[in-house]
A and B are shown apart, each in its own frame.
Chain A
Amino acid sequence: MRLYSLVVYVFLYAPIAIIALFSFNAGRHASDFQGFSIQWYGRALNNPFVMDALETSLIVAFITATLASILGTLAAVGLQGLRGPARAIFDALIYIAVMIPGIVIGIATLIALVTVFDVMNPWIENLWGDADNAPTLSMGRGSLIAAHTMFTMALVIIIVRARLGTLEQSLGEASADLYATPLGTFRQVTLPLIAPAVLAGFLLSFTFSFDDFIIAFFVAGSETTLPIYIFSSIRRGVTPEINAIGTMVMLASLVLLIVAQLILRRGDRT
């Protein structure tokens, strides 16, 4: 059994270790280690295409995480008051949203948005009057953010709900008893107490959005996020530069995930 788990771990982590190792390769081939160097990191960071893609990814991830934490928190708080079958249905829908494969979300969002855009664009043209200069809805940053927010919001709801579940119900009653309006109670009692969960949800959403390739591939339109850039450059052959980018992305994601975990744990202690 011990040997078996060892083999599993090797299978899981060896490819990642090799990517990290070869990112320090002095040679220009991914399969042939020719000595230690960090030149590929410099190359990657000086590549304007990489930096553009990184910027897009960061902006999309930040807006996604912000929207998802706000909407997800409000949804979680709203769902608190719900009991019975309605609650079970909402719970199931939220978990399903997390479990649905990215490719399904990607295709579904693409089809839905294209359909909506096809209906909306002629309308907007008519309303605008000047058909040539009328704004048109199309795939791009907006659709990418929308798709990511929908998906990561479910994560935030799950995390915040778990935290809300640990709070004593009488805290809300005590606040109301001390003359606080429902909004005042939310602002002064609920929000400070669930803040760690909201922050952890933000970081997780950021990471998920930043790392996502499948959904972005379908709905990003002409935008290039970092994962999309990596995918398209791999088609031209794996270079140590890609390894360096991959290693950096992995490290950043790992740090964010660990920070999110730490925040959640600290939150539980109070």
Chain B
Amino acid sequence: MKYDRGVLNDASTAVAELRHVSKRFGDVDAARDLNLSVASGEFLSFLGPSGCGKTTALRMLAGFETPSDGEVLIDGAVVNTLEPFRRPVNMVFQSYALFPHLSVFDNVAYGLRQRRPRLSRAEIAEKVSRTLDVVRLGDFGARRIWEMSGGQQQRVALARAIVNEPKLLLLDEPLAALDRKLRKAMQIELQDLQRQLGITFILVTHDQEEALSLSDRICVMRDGRIVQIGTPRELYDAPASRYVADFVGSSNFLEGRIGRITSGHADFTGVSGHSFSGQAGPGIEEGASGTLSLRPEQINISRRQLEGGHAVTVQNRIFLGEHTEYVVRHDEIGTFIVLASRRAEDREPPLDAGTQAYIAWNPDAALILRAD
């Protein structure tokens, strides 16, 4: 059963909850007033640069850190001071933290063997081999950890966690140590696994692509705070601030002053003096300084004059297969990155560097955001 991407109002389905949670390490505020509710079966990501508090949030859910303020709830019960070994939660560590003195089988069986009353030997063997099959390591049970490749170790770490059928699976940058190709493959595996098992996943990552492709919801963090929570599409199409627009996907930004705001739209005057209009982002104020954000794929580029277009010079062209990326320069406004799809190029041959061209965009595609 897949979590419905809609609203989360039903408190009874929340597997984990953070209520005004803060964590201080000495003088450092690692987490500030976090509020979050995670639904059963959901795949949620904490996204942010290193030091933004995402790992601290995860460690508070696992029980390795105790919040300085606020409440951490798992399954509706406050667990602030509950020791990690009493929580129905399992974690996949960034370093995997596999036990080097145990075989693959014994690593995976570790959690099951701690259960009281004890599980029978046959029961443990059955669960372990079934889980090893799930992560496609069926024949590797007798191997030692150091005989396994990085990707295989990653799967052992996953198996060791999911064999316990936790309420909540916490993943701390689990794919960071893998090379690009393997990471892609593991992302797909992770997603399949989550759908197959229906376990709630909470992933910590600094890789926006990973967060966008895997998550039902993303929680963007900065300096210990949650700056925006939403589905990948919401974050991409309606970022609440320049920070989110910059961190989720890539964007062109123009600095300037916010003009009149009317029914969801706003006027905007760039530092160059040019006037634009666009959709009004949340929390913007008339007369305040702001940012206009424009996704590269929302800009049309052509040799011919476009309606409301701006004359630019092509500075660089990068062929990306499905898309072509242009870097174009407007003498007054500045540099834009434009992503032209292959289909657009069928109509018009590619532009060479140095060519004069015009760019234009639908005013609705531009987003006026508050400066942050």
Interface residues of A (CB under 8 A from B): 168, 170-171, 173-181, 184, 188-189, 192-193, 270
CA distance A209 to B146 in the complex (A): 38
Q: Which residues of B contact A181 (CB under 8 A)?
A: 85, 114
Q: Known: A178-B110, A178-B111, A193-B101. Contact between A170 and B93, CB under 8 A? A: yes
Q: Is B100 an interface residue (CB 8 A)?
A: yes
The residue in chain B whose Cβ has the minimal distance to the Cβ of A170 is B97
CA distance A270 to B84 in the complex (A): 27
The A interface is mostly helix, strand or loop, or mixed, namely helix
Interface residues of B (CB under 8 A from A): 62-64, 83-86, 89-91, 93, 95, 97-101, 110-111, 114-115, 146, 160, 164
The residue in chain A whose Cβ has the minimal distance to the Cβ of B99 is A189
CA distance A168 to B99 in the complex (A): 10
Q: Known: A177-B85, A179-B85. Contact between A270 and B93, CB under 8 A? A: no
Q: Which residues of A contact B62 (CB under 8 A)?
A: 173, 177
CA distance A171 to B100 in the complex (A): 9
A174 and B64 contact, CB distance less than 8 A: no
6 more A-B contacts (CB under 8 A) besides A173-B91, A178-B85? A173-B64, A175-B110, A176-B63, A176-B84, A179-B164, A189-B99
Q: Which of A170, A189, A270 contacts B95 (CB 8 A)?
A: A170
Q: Which residues of A contact B63 (CB under 8 A)?
A: 176-177
The residue in chain B whose Cβ has the minimal distance to the Cβ of A189 is B99
Q: Which residues of A contact B84 (CB under 8 A)?
A: 173, 176-177
CA distance A184 to B84 in the complex (A): 13
Q: Return 5 A-B CB contacts under 8 Å, by A number.
A: A176-B63, A178-B114, A179-B85, A189-B99, A193-B100
With both chains docked as a complex, state the minimum distance between the C-beta of B74 and any C-beta of chain A, in angstroms: 13
CA distance A176 to B110 in the complex (A): 11
Q: Known: A193-B100, A270-B101. Contact between A174 and B114, CB under 8 A? A: no
Q: Which of B90, B101, B114 contacts A192 (CB 8 A)?
A: B101
Q: Which residues of A contact B86 (CB under 8 A)?
A: 179
With both chains docked as a complex, state the minimum distance between the C-beta of A131 and any C-beta of chain B, in angstroms: 54
With both chains docked as a complex, state the minimum distance between the C-beta of A40 and any C-beta of chain B, in angstroms: 47
With both chains docked as a complex, state the minimum distance between the C-beta of A206 and any C-beta of chain B, in angstroms: 25
Q: Which residues of A contact B89 (CB under 8 A)?
A: 177
The residue in chain A whose Cβ has the minimal distance to the Cβ of B144 is A270
The residue in chain A whose Cβ has the minimal distance to the Cβ of B172 is A170
With both chains docked as a complex, state the minimum distance between the C-beta of A199 and any C-beta of chain B, in angstroms: 14
Give the one of A170, A174, A176, A188 with max B CB within 10 A.
A174
CA distance A192 to B110 in the complex (A): 14
Nearest first, the 4 A-B pairs at minimum CB distance are A178-B111, A174-B97, A170-B97, A179-B114
With both chains docked as a complex, state the minimum distance between the C-beta of A29 and any C-beta of chain B, in angstroms: 56
